[in-house]
Amino acid sequence: MKSQAHAFKPRAAAALHDPQLQQAMAKAKGGFVDKRRLAVEALPEFEALRSAAREIKEHTLAHLDYYLEQFEERVHAAGGHVHWARTPEEARDAVVRVCRDAGARRVTKGKSMVAEEVDLNDALESAGLDVMETDLGEYIIQLAEEPPSHIIAPAVHMTRPQITDLFHEHHGKYGLTERVTEIPAIVNEARQVLREAFLSADVGITGANFLVAETGSSVIVTNEGNGDLTNTLPRVHVVTASIEKIVPTLEDVTTILRVLARSATGQEMSSYTTFSTGPRRDQDLDGPEQFHVVLLDNGRSQMLGNEFHEMLRCIRCGACLNHCPVYGAIGGHAYGWVYPGPMGSVLTPLMIGLEEAGHLPNACTLNGRCQEVCPMSIPLPRMLRDLRMREFEQGLTPPRARWALAAWAYLAKRPRLYQSLSALGMRVLALMGRPRGALRRLPLAGGWTAVRDMPAPQGETFQRAWRRRAGRR
């Protein structure tokens, strides 16, 4: 996906003024948050599971080379193939090659963020393949020619009337001319279209929630069953996954699954959890003739051991997005690349560069909710601060912000001067705010007061109040 991360500010402003987006986001927001809270409250051992899941991931990352090689060996033993891809280009080439070798014409796809990351659909279509997304949300945005706006709910930014219009526009060629408006009818219509695609596909491409080193299996969780049809019906099954999806054992998968579903959708378990190990064996009733895994690095091995190492624990549950006030206000498209919200604000600059995505780590209030709800306890706020620091050190911070920070640093090292100037500043602002007790425009911060008044300071400065209280005690 071509990045638009540099245009975060205008895109965010446009999102705030998009009534349909605001309506869709308002509807989605509460649902995810409440369901997660109830699911976590209902499981007393949630915190213990969270720690165990975190330990499993840390152990795996510390021995990633070992488990990746074990995974490859077990995939081969089961009759499958592993393709290593350092870059998105290598991943795209590997998948296109497998499709060409299989003489494929039609490809069905389950949800895969790695496929989005490497822009797989474009590559497949350029190679002359007919590509059909089968996850309902992904199918909707494929029709709308839009990227996903959420990592587990790709079409969360769309309202039901928008989807009705989209289906009406595109489904006439299947003989479905009735305008469907109710959710069951919308789902049923999608099912009719997708069923035909499942039965005629030559290659099925899925992502992976986990790759199991001890068995060479890929694991996907879905609520629609589309993943099962994508990986069992076509002749060839291709898994696109990134290297940090490895876990050592099946037992480890079950531990992490218990925190994943609760954190993502508030379910105890997703409706379908599917394990795929190699191609069909003689005694199997169904399954593909070929099983391929494309393993993508794309900068992840550079993160091992550095200050962003913990980001590799991410299991893409989406909880940090659902609890982020910034994401909740602007949705996912404003972020301009594949991964939105707090996890995206860390991952995107690391993958496509701070020069392109420098706005993202700054679009955060550092309220810390993302870390609180993250089932892997990833210190997202600390990483966002570290990225801001990198940005400053690389000279990418805008000059005005650099001067402001330099002035603040100068004053912070001189407490007396700092206190006198803040007392003076307070008095000036209090005078400026008369008689309303609020300022319509704040000097040097016009953006803040463009949409709200700033209450004029009252009373004494914080330092004075603190000294007075301490003296009284």
Please, which residue, 68 or 321, has the CB nearer to ligand SF4?
Answer: 321
Q: How far is the CB of 121 from ligand SF4 (least distance, A)?
A: 23
Q: How far is the CB of 141 from ligand SF4 (least distance, A)?
A: 19
Please, which residue, 237 or 388, has the CB nearer to ligand SF4?
Answer: 388
Tokens of 200: 């005629």
Please, which residue, 171 or 245, has the CB nearer to ligand SF4?
Answer: 245
DSSP string, 100-155: HHTT--EEEE---HHHHHTTHHHHHHHTT-EEEE-SHHHHHHHHHT---SSSS-TT
- Please tell me whether residue 9 adopts helix, strand or coil conformation: helix
Q: How far is the CB of 344 from ligand SF4 (least distance, A)?
A: 9
Distance CA 95, CA 369 (A): 38
Please, which residue, 64 or 190, has the CB nearer to ligand SF4?
Answer: 64
Supply the angle between the helices 380-393 and 341-352 in degrees, to the nearest 10: 40
Question: Is residue 139 packed enough to be buried (19+ CB in 10 Å), middle (13-18) or exposed (0-12)?
Answer: buried
Distance CA 203, CA 106 (A): 7
Q: Angle at Cα 255 formed by Cα 249 and Cα 261, nearest 5°?
A: 125
Q: Please report, for the chain, how many H helices and E strands are present, in that order.
A: 24, 12
Q: How far is the CB of 91 from ligand SF4 (least distance, A)?
A: 21
Question: Is residue 459 packed enough to be buried (19+ CB in 10 Å), middle (13-18) or exposed (0-12)?
Answer: exposed
Please, which residue, 95 or 317, has the CB nearer to ligand SF4?
Answer: 317
Tokens of 170: 């595109």
Residues that bind ligand SF4 (CB under 6 A): 314-320, 343, 374-376, 378
Q: How many residues does the chain have?
A: 473
Please, which residue, 70 or 263, has the CB nearer to ligand SF4?
Answer: 263
Please, which residue, 132 or 315, has the CB nearer to ligand SF4?
Answer: 315
Tokens of 473: 């005690």
Distance CA 367, CA 325 (A): 9
Please, which residue, 12 or 343, has the CB nearer to ligand SF4?
Answer: 343
Q: How far is the CB of 139 from ligand SF4 (least distance, A)?
A: 22
Distance CA 463, CA 422 (A): 9
Please, which residue, 98 or 151, has the CB nearer to ligand SF4?
Answer: 151
Q: How far is the CB of 224 from ligand SF4 (least distance, A)?
A: 20
Distance CA 74, CA 425 (A): 68
